[in-house]
Amino acid sequence: MSEADAVFKGKIHYYGREQYYQAMQNESVAATKKFGNDPVYRFYSAVSHLLQGQTQEAIRQLQPLQNDQDVMLGTLLALIYAHRHCQVVDKEAVTMLDAKLKEERKRAPESCLYYAAMFLLLSGKVDKAREYIDRMLKLNPEDLAGLTLKGWVELFAGRESKIKNTLQLFEAVLQRSPKNIDALFGKAKYYENRSSYKESMETLNVLVVAYPDFTGPLVEKMKVYLSEQEWDQSMDAATRVLSVDSHNIEALKHKTLYALCRQGNYDEAAQALRDLYSEMDRSEPNNASLFVHMAQLFSRICGRNRLVLEETFMMASKAAKIDTGNAEYLTEVGYQCLLQGRNKEATKYYKNATKLDESSVAALTGIISCQLLEGQVDVAEQQLEFLKEVQRSLGASPDILYLSAVLGRMKNQNPDTILALLTEAIDNHFKNHRGMAFGSTYLAALNPDFLLLIVHECLLYAPNQPSDTATTTEVPPVVKRALLVLDAITRACPALLTALVLSARTKFVTGDVKGASTILQHVLDEIDSTSSDAHLLMAQIQLHQGNFKQAQQSLEVGLSYNFEVREQPTYHLVRARVMKKQGQYQEAINTLKSCLNLANTRPTTTKGSRNKAELTLPDRASVFLELCDAYRLNDQPNEAASIMTQAMTEFQGTGEEIRLNIASADLALMRGDVEHALAMLRSIGPDQPYYLEARDKMANIYLNNLKDKRMFATCYREVVEKNPTPQSYLMLGDAYMSIQEPDRAIEVYEQAQKRNPRDSVLACRMGMALVKTHQYGKAINYYKEAIKSGSSNQLRYDMAELQMRLKQYDKSEKTINQALEVEAINHSNLTSMLTQAKLLNLLAKVHERAGHFDQALSTLSKAKDVQVKVLKRAQVELPDSVAEQKQLAGSMCSKMAEHAANQREFDQAIRLYKEALQYDPEHAPTLLALAKLYMQ
């Protein structure tokens, strides 16, 4: 075989394996012209037509090759394949061809077996291809082409037991033919599949050097970078490919992937898809499988972005137009309609697909999805039962399990049954692509869109916001599973906006408020500063943290970017909560009424939170509870009681009934009926949601209403007995501290620490308890050990303060400086700046008590400079803390003025007192000190 012949065949095989059939055809035609009507290249040309669905043209080109010694078997197999894919199958022709195939196979030479195996591999018949290639290698075990094809057959089969053997096959070929294209590609793919990316790259570099005019090796390098999830390097590789070949489809596909998955830039992605469609229409106009692959890939990872879905719908429609008899392609067009919310059109396409293939599970599943969306519950249930029966031997598919869960919710079935279905759906879905290398095929199989539907459904059974006493044990296990699912999605698509916001929401409801805030800040800083969903969730988090002005700002910013936010009941719910916290009770009542009216006018959907105008069950219960509380605070007890009665009727038998019982206890307290309040709270058992919240409320009633410290502590002891988590022990310890029993608190904190030794909050409480019992030496040693375990700077602050009280000034100064070194790492972070100002203020006190007045003044000056910067940032980032930060700045200025006055520098003292009053104009001690100075 000449070098030119080898290069042509290497390219043809590469394009065939990658399913770029028009490119395969172009190379076959070019080779035919160069080598003068060679039957092998005519065979490849016919196969490329066949795999593009052009069966009549393929049959026409294959007919003359039936008696060629080299390609006879491959031709017969291709003709049988072609006839079976005709709309009207010529059964007589198939029978004749099959008989001839069996006869010729008995005496077929090795080359004939090789091309038969090659066709079978390219047409997806991997096991049959192995059968033919094994027979060929029996005739000639040393044939290089046969050994290479055998290696590719095993790679396609993905058999672990054959893995080492596969590499040996490629190595054996490369020892005798170091530049063999198929073997080098095979070796690179072998290493890529084994995640040995360095070795894969080294192999591809050999191809790049050997064949500088062939873009295939550069494209494969791009894919390897993607497998490593080295997004930026893969984009650089794509740019390099496009600089050589501006029409390269794989590189254009990668540009689109980068815009969607890495940048979250949907406008750019939509334009890239338009360019990609144009190039596919030009370069691979009859490649239906390519068009449908692109449609599936990008529609599943775009977060249902309208612009992207318009393009993927066109791609799926093109595939169905190319191959009009393919039910799979028509089903995909239906699915694209479903993603766009065009349910009636989707139903039409699904039904047309069943006419082509009445056993199409995907089409039947699609029809059921549409029926559920349209509220046709009974019809959908019948169809679903039929489908389950059909699939019983195969096991339930993730789609069927998900639809069963949705149906169960719509029929008010037991939540535990529904959650079990969702858990099984998640497990089965991930089994389908376990072990798959990261890349476009993996992303399409992962199907983030479907997983997000499941997560949305899971969250319908989770709290809608964290409880002050919540622990992770209160969150349904399926919600923890949802977090794992979201983690898998965001690792695969790090800029998928819907997944990131949902991940933040899930972390929020499980109590990880810091994690939720971090994700949202990343979304707003790096991906989409205009995301109204992110701003709305940020407002909920800020409200939970008590930052009411910030929450109000986030709501206003979200509204300014998208006025449709006003159509979301959740917006009104959060807005009402902000109003209530600010004492605007009547305004909150009006807003909550509007929220309920808005939710009542909207149809429900199977997609859970997908429809933003729909209130989830927990959110709807929250509206009732907030409205009841607003009436209570507005001194309208009758209206509060009426709303509570209405809510108890509506939510009877649901998971939200317990929350209403807790709220009913508040109303009973308002009426002075303490015993009824306690009875309501006692009815909530340890296995039910909100148990901790109920016990916490009971304890406070005993302490504040009945002045019974013993029963107050007993409530928390019962919590520990029933639910012995670190959080429970912490609650009990805090209870003992609040009733002045620090010795008991220490015992409990020690138990909690054994269960969670790295909890910095617990460490701080333990230190405070030891100080309260005057165990100063033990407290210092405890702080030192806790700091070694990597706990927060708050412990250093507490230790330094204790060392100062014990007159260990040098040690206190050393501890503070260590803390300042830690804060210097993130010196421009607002939280860090707040800590720095606090630490410097303490250091100034240490210097003052040690008699180092000049150092005290210098340190105070540094603290004030940091505090001034904090104030500027807080106006925007922490508006609720501005008053507190101003007071701190004022106290720093007053302290500096006091030092100046003691040094008889009266002008400087007056200036500093005036500056203090700018921050805190009503501060009486400062006004008095300034008046005394003027009198002097």
DSSP-derived secondary structure letter, 683 = T
What six digits make up the tokens of 701?
Answer: 């009633």
Find where tokens 């046709």 sit: 376
Lowest mean pLDDT among 54-58, 593-597, 609-613, 861-865: 609-613
Half-sphere exposure of 507 (CA within 13 A, CB side): 21
| pLDDT for res 601 | 59
Quick check: 670 and 637 in contact, CB under 8 A?
A: yes
Query: Assign residue 412 a region: left if phi > 0, alpha if psi is -120 to 50, beta otherwise?
Result: left
Q: Which long-range contacts (CB under 8 A, 24 or more apart) does 401-408 make?
A: 401/425, 401/428, 402/450, 402/453, 402/454, 402/457, 403/365, 403/368, 403/369, 403/372, 405/457, 406/372, 406/457, 406/606, 407/372, 407/377, 407/380, 407/381
C-alpha span between 198 and 369 (Å, rounded): 45
| pLDDT for res 472 | 39
C-alpha span between 53 and 55 (Å, rounded): 5
- Residue 451 Cα to chain centre, angstroms: 10
Cα→Cα distances 239→41, 233, 242, 359, 819, Å:
32, 10, 5, 44, 47
C-alpha span between 845 and 418 (Å, rounded): 60
| pLDDT for res 610 | 45
| pLDDT for res 576 | 92
| pLDDT for res 163 | 59
pLDDT tens digits, 249-271: 999 999 999 999 999 999 999 99
The pTM for the full model equals: 0.78
Lowest mean pLDDT among 497-501, 612-616, 906-910: 612-616
SS3 assignment, position 496: coil
Highest mean pLDDT among 348-352, 471-475, 632-636: 348-352
C-alpha span between 936 and 539 (Å, rounded): 52
Among 441, 429, 377, residue whose Cα is nearest residue 402? 429
C-alpha span between 136 and 141 (Å, rounded): 8
Listed by start position, the domains of the chain span 228-323
What six digits make up the tokens of 915?
Answer: 């500056």
Cα→Cα distances 656→111, 403, 653, Å:
72, 24, 8
DSSP-derived secondary structure letter, 436 = P
C-alpha span between 315 and 188 (Å, rounded): 31
pLDDT tens digits, 444-465: 999 999 999 999 998 888 777 7
Phi/psi of residue 711, each to 5°? Answer: -70, -30
Helix, strand, coil: what percent of the chain each, to 5?
Answer: 80, 0, 20
Among 444, 389, 393, 396, residue whose Cα is nearest residue 422? 396
Give the amino acid at 491.
Answer: R
Superfamily of domain 228-323: Tetratricopeptide repeat domain (1.25.40.10)
Quick check: 116 and 141 in contact, CB under 8 A?
A: no
Lowest mean pLDDT among 28-32, 36-40, 433-437, 455-459: 433-437
SS3 assignment, position 376: coil
C-alpha span between 323 and 330 (Å, rounded): 9
Greater confidence (18 vs 660) lies with 18
What six digits make up the tokens of 55?
Answer: 């069966």
Q: Average pLDDT of 810-819? A: 91
| pLDDT for res 609 | 36
pLDDT tens digits, 885-894: 899 999 999 9
Highest mean pLDDT among 15-29, 695-709, 713-727: 15-29
Q: Check pLDDT > 60 for residue 734.
A: yes
C-alpha span between 149 and 133 (Å, rounded): 7
DSSP-derived secondary structure letter, 301 = S
| pLDDT for res 566 | 84
- Name, in order, each residue with C-beta under 8 angstroms of 352's C-beta and a sequence gap of 6 or more: 330
Start-to-end C-alpha separation, the chain: 109
Give the amino acid at 28.
Answer: S
SS3 assignment, position 723: coil
C-alpha span between 144 and 151 (Å, rounded): 11
The per-residue pLDDT of the chain, averaged, comes to 89
Find where tokens 């709303």 sit: 643
Quick check: 438 and 446 in contact, CB under 8 A?
A: no
- Name, in order, each residue with C-beta under 8 angstroms of 122's C-beta and a sequence gap of 6 or more: 16, 17, 47, 51
What six digits make up the tokens of 353?
Answer: 């697909």
pLDDT tens digits, 40-98: 999 999 999 999 989 999 999 999 999 888 999 999 999 999 999 888 888 899 899 99
Q: Average pLDDT of 462-481? A: 63
